Amino acid sequence: MADDRENSEDVPEVSLDLDAQNEDLEAAMQAAVAAVEEVEGGRETAAPGPSSDEEEVAELRREIADLRDRSMRTLADFDNFRKRSERERQDLKKYAVIEPLREFLGIVDNLDLALSAAGGADDLKRGVEMIHRQMLDLLRRHGVKEVSALGQPFDPALHEAVAREEDAALKAPTVTGEMRRGYMMHDRLLRPAMVKVSVPAEAPKPVAGE
């Protein structure tokens, strides 16, 4: 998968090279046309007589036809390359999670076994705990980790406060309860932790007249 992403990131460099090649061909064609026009203009003003201008014009015309043919082929190749690159990008986007899902299927198999197995509540609990460990291990292998919350200073970039209370013993807002865990993937937040925040108690306001 990493190779596919690297290939997709190289696309702009290749397309720029093709654009430059096409510009070179167009410039060469324009120069050849200008040369033909110059020779033909010289023929109209020159005195009649034997000359090699006709052969030169014919050669230039052949060069123009060759350049035009090369230019059309280059444009066609570039268009095919662009379409192929777009298909590859779409496939990469469509199947980006195929490997994690393939690993997740093993966890689904264990869930099926746990649901169909005979046993008491303790056996079921042990099975669920094992599957939970498998899921956390799968997340870690793909760069997913839990957001630290309980006992941490409240961080609105990582924590979503859904409850609030005052605590005179605190000097700064602190997470004192976690309703739902938050997760990071590498350096990007997947979802914030849903938390309860304790804040320092406000000093009582003085009564008017005191």
Q: What is the pLDDT along the chain (210 residues), one digit of tens a residue?
A: 444 444 444 434 444 455 565 566 666 666 666 666 665 555 555 445 545 678 888 888 888 888 888 888 888 888 899 999 999 999 888 888 888 889 999 999 988 888 887 778 888 888 889 999 999 999 999 999 999 999 999 999 999 999 999 998 889 999 999 999 999 999 999 999 999 999 998 766 666 665
- Same domain? For 149 and 162 the reply is yes
In a domain, 208, yes or no: no
Whole-angstrom distance, CA of residue 37 vs CA of residue 185: 65
Alpha-carbon distances, residue 124 vs 26, 118, 137, 180, 202 (angstroms): 74, 9, 20, 23, 48
- What pLDDT score was predicted for residue 6? 44
Would you say 121 and 114 are in contact if contact means Cβ atoms under 8 Å apart? Answer: no
Would you say 196 and 171 are in contact if contact means Cβ atoms under 8 Å apart? Answer: no
Chain length of the chain? 210
- What pLDDT score was predicted for residue 66? 85
- Same domain? For 81 and 105 the reply is no
- Same domain? For 77 and 15 the reply is yes
Which of 27, 62, 94 is the C-terminal boundary of a domain? 94
Counting beta carbons within 10 angstroms of the beta carbon of residue 32, is it exposed (0 to 12), middle (13 to 18) or buried (19 or more)? buried
Domain that holds residue 123: 100-141
- What pLDDT score was predicted for residue 175? 96
In a domain, 207, yes or no: no
- Same domain? For 66 and 132 the reply is no
pTM: 0.56
In a domain, 209, yes or no: no
- Same domain? For 6 and 87 the reply is yes
Whole-angstrom distance, CA of residue 192 vs CA of residue 98: 25
- Same domain? For 135 and 148 the reply is no
For the chain, how many structural domains are there in total?
3
Compute the half-sphere exposure of residue 100: CA atoms within 13 Å on the CB side of its CA: 13
- Same domain? For 130 and 155 the reply is no
- Same domain? For 115 and 172 the reply is no
Whole-angstrom distance, CA of residue 115 vs CA of residue 112: 5
In a domain, 42, yes or no: yes
Tokens of 75: 């444009």
- Same domain? For 127 and 151 the reply is no
Would you say 71 and 89 are in contact if contact means Cβ atoms under 8 Å apart? Answer: no
Whole-angstrom distance, CA of residue 25 vs CA of residue 27: 5
Which of 94, 123, 158 is the C-terminal boundary of a domain? 94
In a domain, 206, yes or no: no
In a domain, 205, yes or no: no
- Same domain? For 87 and 110 the reply is no
- Same domain? For 110 and 37 the reply is no
Tokens of 120: 């008491």
Helix (H, G, I), strand (E, B) or coil at 179: strand
Q: Give first-to-last CA distance, the chain, whole Å.
A: 72
Whole-angstrom distance, CA of residue 86 vs CA of residue 44: 52
- Same domain? For 104 and 30 the reply is no
In a domain, 210, yes or no: no
Tokens of 132: 């939970």
